[in-house]
Amino acid sequence: MRVFDHCGTVRLSVIVLLTGLLIATAAPSTAGPDDTGRIDTGTYTSGVLTYGYEAFVPGDLPANPALVVMIHGCKTTAEQQRRANLLDPIARNDGFVVLYVDGSPFHLLQQRCWSGLLAPASESRASGDAAAIAAMTRLAIERYHIDPDRVYALGMSSGAYETTLLGAYFADLFAAIGVHSGAAFDHGALGCVGPYLPTASTEQLAAQAFSAEGRYRRVLPVIGFHGDADLAVPYECGREVIEQWRQTDNLVLAAQEAPQGIPVRPTGSAEGVADRPEGLSYAVESWRQHESDCPTLQLWTIHGMAHYWSGGSADPDAAEFTDARGPNASQAAWDFFSRIHRTDTGFRCE
């Protein structure tokens, strides 16, 4: 099978900063796979770049539903990600909207990779792909009457690099984030593509994320997924995601004068085998704040999995994107997100 995100071969020397008037357009809805949902498509323009998106909307949508923003990896489109990771059936069953964001024609020059991987320094609250994705998220919130405290971002590979930036720059927008086969805030390709050769300490990255949150800083819940046989984005980078956010969240808790932080060691762990043909074994580690019913941080290690989405479609057309033998990352991410409601200081667990 081919690797899902060939980000190790991509380098880009030209960075385009997004400026100017922001314009959003929506295309007519198209029918979904059955009568229980539909796919809306649209575009979003910022400066010279026009992004695309697809939204899966369940047919029986409750008032003020949740929103999951799914961010694909390199050499992948929003539609391919949607068909591969099978979030739509979960959204149909539980009544939430899924927004699949896509890059602009410019992103073809960087093999559809997001700039969070290739040029994280170009990203901010007001520029780059992060600002565009946040704007598309706000459009979806308005269009579908989303509960603003139940908005989540989930990224794969280069989309996961982008997601860590979204979590810091837009802590006031996203209640929690999910990082599948990605890296810590602002790490970028150097040191986390191919061999693990970190260019900054975890402590430095944690402090940078804390600074990026600015006046919107709050305790941010994070769930991570990574295969321990990943040769494209090393497993150490996936572990660093959780440690960076543990340290960042503890900086927030210290600023809030909270009596206790999130401990270094997991407060809970479990092991299992995916309930699938030739299912892969996995381990789940969780970190909870004092007396919280929900984990603030959670890491899924999928043993023997390379650079693929864990679980998802077993269709041959999805073989380059998913390892269907793994646990269902889409369901695990939603189970984590579904109990979390954003607050000004962190989250409440329901």
Q: What is the pLDDT of residues 140-164, one digit of tens each?
A: 999 999 999 999 999 999 999 999 9
Q: Would residue 295 count as lying in a domain?
A: yes
What mean pLDDT value characterizes the chain?
Answer: 90
The predicted structure's pLDDT at residue 190 = 84
Q: Would residue 350 count as lying in a domain?
A: no
What residues are paired with 98 via a beta bridge?
Answer: 56, 68
The predicted structure's pLDDT at residue 16 = 32
* 106 band by pLDDT with thresholds 50, 70 and 90: confident
Count of Cβ atoms closer than 10 Å to residue 100 Cβ? 26
Measured in whole angstroms, the distance separating CA 2 from the mean position of its chain's CA atoms is: 22
Distance, in Å, from the CA atom of 6 to the CA atom of 25, rounded to the nearest integer, reads 31
Q: Would residue 326 count as lying in a domain?
A: yes
Model confidence at 3: pLDDT above 80: no
Percent of the chain scored above 90 by pLDDT?
Answer: 80
pLDDT tens digits along 27-69: 444 444 445 899 999 999 988 899 999 999 999 999 999 999 9
Q: Would residue 349 count as lying in a domain?
A: no
Q: Quick one: average pLDDT of 218-229?
A: 98
Q: Would residue 205 count as lying in a domain?
A: yes
Number of domains the chain contains: 1
Collapsed DSSP state (helix, strand, coil) of residue 279: coil
The predicted structure's pLDDT at residue 321 = 93
Q: Would residue 2 count as lying in a domain?
A: no
Query: Any idea what the CATH number is for the domain that residue 270 is in?
Result: 3.40.50.1820
Q: Would residue 348 count as lying in a domain?
A: no
Domain that holds residue 158: 7-343
Q: Would residue 337 count as lying in a domain?
A: yes
* 24 band by pLDDT with thresholds 50, 70 and 90: very low
Model confidence at 335: pLDDT above 60: yes
Model confidence at 319: pLDDT above 70: yes
pLDDT tens digits along 240-288: 999 999 999 999 999 999 989 999 999 999 999 999 999 999 999 999 9
Burial string for 43-70 (b: 16+ CB within 10 Å, else e) reads bbbbeebbbbbbbbbbeebeeebbbbbb
The predicted structure's pLDDT at residue 35 = 59
